[in-house]
Structure 1
Amino acid sequence: MIMKQESKWNKGDWVKGRTVNGELMYGYIVDFDSDEGTVKVNVVACDRESTVGRTVETLNYLIKPFPILPMNNDQLRSMTDLALITSDRDWFMDLSSKLSESKKASGDQMTRSDAWFWSAQR
């Protein structure tokens, strides 16, 4: 009996690592096969230019999570604008709560320029 291995990856995870040909790349996961130990990555940047924009299949152990730095308030606002433009309500609500938590943690008060942002949540 073969035990199915749990994947540590999720679709959309940002990763960096190597292709099976040894090229350095980073991108996001579009699919994975836990049984085979492979992942398919949509490549955003690579040291082989012709690989950029393509989906490549590589081995689990050749990639690792891409470090994501926390966003500041201006970056959160910009991403919230993008969520509104794309009509992604869940993403908008997630970003809004992060911005609210960030402002509470820093002790910032809502300013008049923030009113447009918060009015969308009422």
Structure 2
Amino acid sequence: MRFEMSDWVQGRAENGELIQGFIVAIHEAEAALKVHVVQSDNEAVVGKGLMMREQWLKDMPFAETEDAGQIADLVDLALATQDVAWFEELSARLKQGARQDAPSGGRAGFRATRNRLDLPRYQ
């Protein structure tokens, strides 16, 4: 199997819908993977797990995120998926960025932003 748990993948499901998501289970005997769908052209499958054949999927390209807002959104996703290691990695990147942005001799300021649920989030 060329994929591992939590890998981000994209492909076409059996019914032809395009999906993007991450692997939550691997069934090597059937060469199948269970993918938690995060984005699709079929809204009915978003948020659900789909069984997919390995050959229907490909790796999602890696995108480097340096923007604090993007990293904060990924922190939310790490919390939602209960991925502790990823959460800690992203939190460290946010802290490192805050230190670099801080004026010399001063403290980094925090600004409130709004997330998808229209709840304040502080950076």
TM-score range, shorter chain: 0.5 to 0.7
The whole-number CA distance in structure 2 between the counterparts of 1:15 and 1:64 is 6
Alignment match, 2:32: 38
- Give the TM-score taking structure 1 as reference length: 0.62
> Is 2:101–2:108's contact at 8 Å kept on the other side of the alignment?
no
The whole-number CA distance in structure 2 between the counterparts of 1:10 and 1:29 is 7
Deviation at 1:73, TM superposition (A): 4.3
Aligned-residue identity in percent: 29
Alignment match, 1:120: none
Q: How many positions carry a matched residue from both structures?
A: 104
Quick one: which of 90, 100, 106 aligns to 1:95? 90
Give the root-mean-square deviation of aligned CA atoms: 3.4
1:60 equivalent to 2:26? Answer no
1:23 equivalent to 2:30? Answer no
Amino acid paired to 1:95: L
Give the gaps of 5 or more residues in structure 1: 1-6, 115-122
Deviation at 1:23, TM superposition (A): 1.5
Relative CO higher for 1 or 2, CA cutoff 8 Å, sep ≥ 6?
1
- In our comparison, the structure showing a higher alpha carbon Rg is 1
- Give the TM-score taking structure 2 as reference length: 0.62
Give the gaps of 5 or more residues in structure 2: 110-123
Q: 1:53 to 1:113 in 2, by over 3 A?
A: same
CA-to-aligned-CA distance 1:53-97 (integer Å, 9 cap, x gap)? 2211111011111123111141466258649x7897643442255
> Is 1:17–1:25's contact at 8 Å kept on the other side of the alignment?
yes
